[in-house]
Structure 1
């Protein structure tokens, strides 16, 4: 059970190390519901220090770009979690080693939020116990929807939904034949912009279409990868956002015409290809390499089955 006691105990002298996978959401038809964890990781070390405030070092992706003070998203996530359990935030020193691309539809903001929530869990170990639904609730409060933070927290394929009691999730194990390929362009895409292009209502037939494809997609991912091309069809969101990322849309159409189960990764502009065998990934990457008008990076990734981890080093005093 989650302890929401307001008594505050200092985690002085503690250091934790957190590892969080990148994610890809929607997976075509599963808009705001389905997410998949990928073996691409941000790593974070957080130490409690005597001085108040937060000091952040960023290495890798985002270095020299993201805030290095209390406005940093990871710091805000730690602070949010401490406050939710009635704990006083100590001074913090953070060292972030980031590999997840920013603004490309691979869950970088969700990973930052989960990093902070998991760091808070580790720093509060033995003081406040935070259960899985508590972690998901805190992360969703910051992210706004659970489809990215659920797989980042728990790994694998996740189905996420909300109830009056808060967000819920179900984790599923992906068939070993599923071989993700992510194609990452140089340009970025704002999630807020992508969502602004979404209509408030869609045709009834399109809603039925996506219900059928999203249920088929779960079967394809956990049992029948040969169905992935049909299962990744979508009429709810990708076509509405196509004008904001024309090359992404063009390449997805070309990939699908060639038989590859290609979709927009999250809000884009990256492309996710849910291949049914490793060899198919190479062929898909070659197609994009030969037809793209701009440079694209091909990331051959495994599915992450573990999710976010946190290790407490109680004897290290920083």
Structure 2
């Protein structure tokens, strides 16, 4: 990395905002819902996208390797770029131009939080560019404004196991420490499912008995994930969303049923089609033909930022 004195860049209100040099960001994949915790629960996973942002010039250049290469936009409409801009605006800073390199490992359109990683990573990069200590609660708020729901973005920002909700139009979240030894195995198919398509299959109302059952299982899942992992099988039962989505991902639901029939706490990851097994014992089966199997730990930190401006790092990390 280069060194030197940060430039003063005019902010939107005419003040001077200090902007430093190269910023690096690492942001984890996430799994939302986890069975009964629809639109509320999230888990950060040890699979990461990495961003490098170099300020300079008057335009934006984007380079993408890994998932999304050759598919996503390479201009101001790129989701990370838009998120950087939103973060800078929130901080009262303007960076006229920069180059962005995305080294992606999170599969796109598979229910592992690739869009949330892009949003959280971009906002965190804005903090790094301005040398501002990372405000994770504010990152959740801003990311929720862009994403439209806070479950995945909360886990990407905070790490560990998160419970997210909205108050008015503001995203909120709390982080809980996962039980020791908790891990996950993700079974990822080749096919994609759009979140909009998966949500479109959900009914406008469900029977009261199903809603009550889900509320109980969601409460139990908090205990199972944090201190009683032997309860994961029962705690991951869902009546609210997974079965309704079967037409969009029949192979995924078939795999969930097969794994659960073997006594394994399998769920659809987010909007699917990835299937996630919450694991404490290991020795899970191989992936079906045409699927990939990822053995993942639980990321304890969430998004991390390394910045020349702060000359310390990772900015915003946890001890």
TM-score, normalising length from structure 1?
Answer: 0.90
Answer yes or no: is 1:157 the counterpart of 2:161: yes
Counterpart of 1:112 (choices 113, 118, 129) is 118
Partner of 2:210: 206
Q: What is the CA–CA distance in structure 2 between the aligned matches of 1:315 and 1:15, rounded to whole Å?
A: 11
Deviation at 1:205, TM superposition (A): 0.7
Deviation at 1:90, TM superposition (A): 1.9
Q: Contact between 2:12 and 2:92, CA under 8 Å: does it hold in 1?
A: yes
Q: Residue deviations 1:291-317, cap 9 Å, x none?
A: x4x41111000000011001111399x
Counterpart of 2:249 (choices 241, 245, 260) is 245
Counterpart of 2:63 (choices 57, 68, 77) is 57
Q: Residue deviations 1:4-23, cap 9 Å, x none?
A: 99444354552110000000
Counterpart of 2:79 (choices 51, 73, 77) is 73
Q: What is the CA–CA distance in structure 2 between the aligned matches of 1:6 and 1:278, rounded to whole Å?
A: 55
Q: Contact between 2:128 and 2:309, CA under 8 Å: does it hold in 1?
A: no
Q: What is the CA–CA distance in structure 1 between the aligned matches of 2:134 and 2:227, rounded to whole Å?
A: 33
| 156-165 or 78-87: bigger deviation | 78-87
Q: Which has the higher contact order (CA 8 A, sep 6+)?
A: 1
- Structure 1 residue runs of 5 or longer lacking an equivalent are none
Answer yes or no: is 1:299 the counterpart of 2:305: no
Q: What is the CA–CA distance in structure 2 between the aligned matches of 1:10 and 1:123, rounded to whole Å?
A: 10
Q: Pick closer, same or farther for the CA change 1:8–1:69 going to 2, 3 Å.
A: farther
Deviation at 1:278, TM superposition (A): 2.0
Match of 2:108, SS?
A: coil
Q: Pick closer, same or farther for the CA change 1:205–1:120 going to 2, 3 Å.
A: same
Where in structure 2 are the equivalents of 1:1-318 lying within 5 Å?
6-50=13-57, 52-126=58-132, 131-164=135-168, 166-279=170-283, 282=284, 285-286=285-286, 289=287, 292=288, 294-314=289-309
Q: What is the CA–CA distance in structure 1 between the aligned matches of 2:207 and 2:199, rounded to whole Å?
A: 18
Match of 1:301, SS?
A: strand
Name segments (4+ residues, structure 1) moved above 3 Å.
Answer: 4-8, 10-13
| 176-185 or 20-29: bigger deviation | 176-185
Deviation at 1:256, TM superposition (A): 0.5
